[in-house]
Amino acid sequence: MRKFTGFFTITAALSAALFLASCAAPEASSPAGSSPGASAALASPSKPSAELTAELMAKLVPEGTRVLNQPAQPKTTLILFTDYQCPYCAKMDGLIQRVKSDYRDQVRIVVRNFPLPMHHNAPLAAQAVEAAAEQGALEKMASMVFSKQKEWAKAQAGVVETFTSYAQQLGLQQSKFSADLNSAAIKARVAKDLQDATELGLQGTPSLVLEGKLLSVDSSDYSSVKGPIDAVLAS
Q: For the domain 12-234, what is the CATH superfamily, name and number? A: Glutaredoxin (3.40.30.10)
Task: Check residue 62 and give its pLDDT.
Answer: 94
Task: Check residue 34 and give its pLDDT.
Answer: 28
How many angstroms separate the Cα of 133 from the Cα of each of 38, 162, 219?
38, 17, 24
Query: Which residue positions in the chain have pLDDT lower than 50?
Result: 6-19, 29-48
Handedness of CA 151, 109, 203, 1 (dihedral sign): positive
For the chain, the helix, strand and coil percentages under 3-state DSSP, each to the nearest 5: 45, 10, 40
pLDDT digits (tens, 9 = 90+) for 28-43: 543 333 223 222 333 4
Contact 145, 108 (CB under 8 A): no
Angle between helices 122-133 and 174-181 (to 10 degrees): 130
Task: Check residue 187 and give its pLDDT.
Answer: 98
pLDDT digits (tens, 9 = 90+) for 105-140: 999 999 999 999 999 999 999 999 999 999 999 999
Query: 20: which residues sit within 8 A by CB, 6+ positions away?
Result: 36
Query: 166: which residues sit within 8 A by CB, 6+ positions away?
Result: 128, 141, 144, 145, 148
Handedness of CA 43, 48, 50, 55 (dihedral sign): negative
